[in-house]
Every structure is written in structure tokens, then in C-alpha cells.
Chains A and B, each alone.
Chain A
Amino acid sequence: MNGIHDMGGMHGMGPINPEKKEPVFHTVWEGRAFALSMAVDGDWPYGADRYQIELMPPEKYLRQSYYEKWVTTLVELMVKTRMVTSAEIASGKAIERKTKARHVLTAAEVPSVIAAGDPASRNVPATPHFRAGQQVRARNMNPVGHTRLPRYARGKIGRIERDHGVFEFPDTSVNGFGEKPQHVYSVRFAARELWGEQAALQDSVYVDLWDDYLEPA
């Protein structure tokens, strides 16, 4: 969706202000938030957690820190999928005996889970519609659901640099229309194509885009 999260090209966000010797977690709760998000075996599809963040009202999105947003959306998804109830969140006490967790992660499993990851690639054949070197246009689409095609690239012409292979498609995965695995390409956009004549002639932005986002140019 065209949400505030889609920040590519925005001005007015202020200076970057990197912190010297920044700790991994600024507070204890940040670490716990991170761990909870990783450990909870939620029954929601690929992309749903990102989309849940995108659904936050803009003021809240801008105000909440990174891990605050993780916790906010984790709770929302757990309530949505009835892993917990709002009453339980409000009271802090378990009311229902049954748990909806499909798997409870153990400490012993952590190293292997981290090592294995959660690949979004799919070992299925899918016809690529484009090939390296080809000129393409990112489609001008404005779905209200989840998408990974940023607004700044829509309608812009780029060149296929590389075919990354076949991956789950988040747009359909999130809205319940299935994985729809398809090729993902690295697409090179000249900076001038994206931002106009003021941009440097030789610079570019590479964006990873799914097949469905593209059309021949």
C-alpha cells in the first residue's frame, strides 16, 4: 500500500545521526522484543508481519521506535490469529489453557534455526518473463495490500541486471491468494530516471523486483 513506510525519496526526515558504539539492544526490553518475535511460531503467512507494520497509522509509525513496532505488530498478529486474547494482554495473565503455538522453540534449537533461516526461495519451476540485459518498466500499480514495489520506482524504466531465481510472492501471500512463486530480478534504475536531471549521471539504484511488478519497455 502507499503507506508512510514507503519512504524512498522522502525529504524532511532529518539527519541520519549514527550513534557511536551503538549497542545491539539499547534496553533489555528491546532484546526481549526481538527474541519474542523470532520465537513465536505464528500462524501467519510470509510478509504478514511487514504488512502489519505498514498498517500502523502514520503518526504511530513515525513515533514508535523500531522494536516498539515489532512488539506492537506481534501482539496484533497474535490477537488476530487468536494465539492470545486482548483480555490476556490487558491483564497479563493467561486465561485460556490451550495454546495455539505450533512449535515451542527450545534453547537447544536456536543455533540451528538461526543457521537454517526461513528461505523465501522456492524450488519450483516458474517461467521467467525477462532476462538479464533486458529493458523493463516497473508497472504503475497502487495496491492497497502489501507490495514490495516502492512508489519511487513505479512507471520507471530500468534494466534487468540479474535473475535471482524463484521466490514466494509477498503481495499474494499476504492477501490470502497463495505463494505464487515467481522470478525476482535485480533491476538497475539510473538515478536520473528516478529523480530527474539533478541526479548524478553515472549513479543508479538497484531494486529487487518480482516478475509481476514488471512489463517490457
Chain B
Amino acid sequence: MTTSRRDFLTAAVTAAGAAVTPDLARAQEHDHDHDHDHQVVPSDPALRVKALESLLVEKGLVDRAALDALIDTYEHKVGPRNGARVVARAWTDPAYKQRLLTNSDTAIAELGYGGLQGEHMLVIENTAKVHNLVVCTLCSCYPWPVLGLPPVWYKSAPYRSRAVIDPRGVLREFGLELGDDVEVRVWDSTAELRYLVLPERPAGTEKMSEEELAALVTRDSMVGVGKVTTQA
């Protein structure tokens, strides 16, 4: 058997769960002809982005310091800790919780959070009987001001496709098993509303301060793929 044929078949076996081998098909020519713009992204996006940024800076189309500030904000300043504080406040202050559920934008703004990709917020409450799960099947819409930028799994095809058709299966993958007595509500973020799940407060936390409670709240629980436990 010639090398190329063997490699080709080996690549086929990869899918059957055998040893990992490079997929030769990718090295072959495009085997589908089409006219429309075919984006051939070089194998190193890092180089491409670097070149692009330099070009745009040189043309005066973007300001480098602005780029740095954007990255810094989402890497270090805005993240799920914001949402955790909102949740902890709602757990400890019933009046705030009421405001949060009926007028989410303003209630979240009370804590100083809001703005980009969180201009129109809706907080949905998990109870013993109702479990909420948030997805964006069409792209990756996510409430940035309270949760930061979305994780890879949230933006992935597996999550986007299955959350609406098999929510209980998806939750099981995250280690959460729900009984038949629980109603699951999946929220597909198709418009500019951004959803934040208000998870259930775990038992045994009655003596905890707001700050201690906030430390327990996970990003996953605010998307709806997990519950808050006393093991943070």
C-alpha cells in the first residue's frame, strides 16, 4: 500500500477512535469547487491579527491604547464576580431581589454594573420547581457586564445546538441531574435582552455575609448549567 493511501485510511480510523494521526485531507487541495469568497485563513491567526492591527494603527483607523484598554477591561475588570455580587445582594436583601426581578436593568445598575451587551437585562429566578438555562443558539449573546466574556463552551456548536433540544442531557454533562418534578426553561437570547440566572441559595448559608455568599456563586450557576453549593 502506498504511503498516501495508508495515511488516508489511517485518518479515517481516527474517527473510529483509534490512534490520533494527522488528517491528510486537510493537506489536500480543496475538493469542493465554488466561486464565493473562500476565506483561507493562514494557519497562524496570531500573525494575521498582528499584521492587521499594525496596518489599522498605521492607517489611523484604530488607537492602540484603546485596544489595550478594551482587553484590560475584560481580562481583569469585568467578570462573573460582578454577577456573583448581584446574586448575593438578592439573597440577603428581599427588597433588592424584588427590584432585580421586576426591573433588572436598574437593579443591576444600583451595584454599578451595566452597559455593553447588558443594556437590556432580565434576571430569571431558579427555584426548587423551576430551573432556568440560558443559551444563544444563533451566535454567542451573553450578559457581559455581569459575567464578562463568554467561555468557549457557551459559544460552541455542541452547547448551542443541544441546549434547546436536550437541556436535561446537557445539564447531566455538567453534573446536574434534575427530577421530573422540576420544570426546565431554556432561554434563547435571540434579541438584545441578556439573561442572568438567579440561582437558588444553598442551605446552611444563613450565617454568611454578603461577601462570603458572593464567593460561592459560580459563573456556571448564573448561566444555569450548575447550582451553587457551599463548596465554591
Contacts and interface: CB of A to CB of B under 8 A. Distances in A.
B12 interface: yes
A14 B5 CA distance: 30
Range, interface on chain A: 20 to 34
A64 B13 CA distance: 14
Interface stretch (B15-23, B139-147, B185-193): B15-23
B32 interface: yes
A29 B35 contact: no
Interface in A12-28: 14-15, 17, 19
A17 B35 CA distance: 8
A100 B13 CA distance: 18
Given A19-B33, A58-B157, A64-B25, A29 B15 contact: no
Interface stretch (A65-73, A104-112, A116-124, A153-161): A65-73
Chain B residues touching A, range: 20 to 34
Contacts of A79: 13, 16, 18
A60 interface: yes
B139 to A, nearest CB: 14
23 contacts: A14-B35, A15-B34, A15-B35, A15-B36, A17-B34, A17-B35, A29-B5, A56-B15, A60-B23, A63-B25, A63-B26, A65-B31, A71-B8, A73-B12, A74-B12, A75-B9, A79-B13, A86-B13, A86-B18, A89-B13, A90-B18, A92-B1, A142-B165
Interface of B: 1, 5-6, 8-13, 15-16, 18-19, 21, 23, 25-26, 31-36, 157, 161, 165
